[in-house]
Amino acid sequence: MYFGKQKKTHNNGRVPPNQNVTTTFPILHTGSVPYYEDITKWNLQIYGLVDHPKLLTLEDIKKNYPQSKLVNDIHCVTGWSKLDASWQGVKTVDLLEEVHIQSHAKYVILHAEEGWTTNLSIDDFMKETNLLAHSYNDEPLTPEHGYPLRAVIPHLYFWKSAKWIRGIQFTEHNHPGFWERNGYHMEGNPWLEQRYSFD
């Protein structure tokens, strides 16, 4: 794990409690970094409590949905914050417009490579600030940062922004993901310092 150069900062309204601003982009993850020999074989599945499930290629996501550029601040549970991160991709609200989420769906489970998962409420997942990003600073994501597609959920701690995403599942009940099963908070609000299950 590489945490990068950090500096202390005063809380200017953008930095949650007990966070330090970094000027680099730290790389943290568990498991292996996936590399794809043929990206045309990659897909994203949208399924569960939806009327119209989808199986999308990367080309589908780039060409058949509105593309957005969002600049936001991101906050890692390990204590670093990065301000003004610039992402390009598809807003979650735009991607899911056609699937028709069923009324009894209350939660979203994000599935990534190697069986990794994380959980969010539908309200958290559908915020206008959220993106499924394929690019950072107008360049394709690097493998270490989630190529070809990662979630960006900036209002929650950054472990909720799953890298290497492969599935979006809608469920009625909440299911803890990888880090949540290992002691992290089920919601992960950085402003409330919801780092661990006992917070």
| CA 105 – CA 3 distance, rounded (Å) | 37
Q: Mean pLDDT per 10-residue run, the chain (199 residues)?
A: 41 86 80 89 98 98 97 94 96 96 98 95 97 96 95 97 97 94 94 87
Q: In CATH, what number does 42-192 get?
A: 3.90.420.10
Phi, psi values for residue 34, rounded to 5°: -80, 145
The pLDDT value recorded for residue 11 is 52
Whole-number pLDDT of residue 26: 74
Per-residue pLDDT reduced to its tens digit, 129-150: 999 999 999 999 999 999 999 9
Beta-bridge mates of residue 75: 81
The kind and range of the H/E element at 61 are helix 58-63
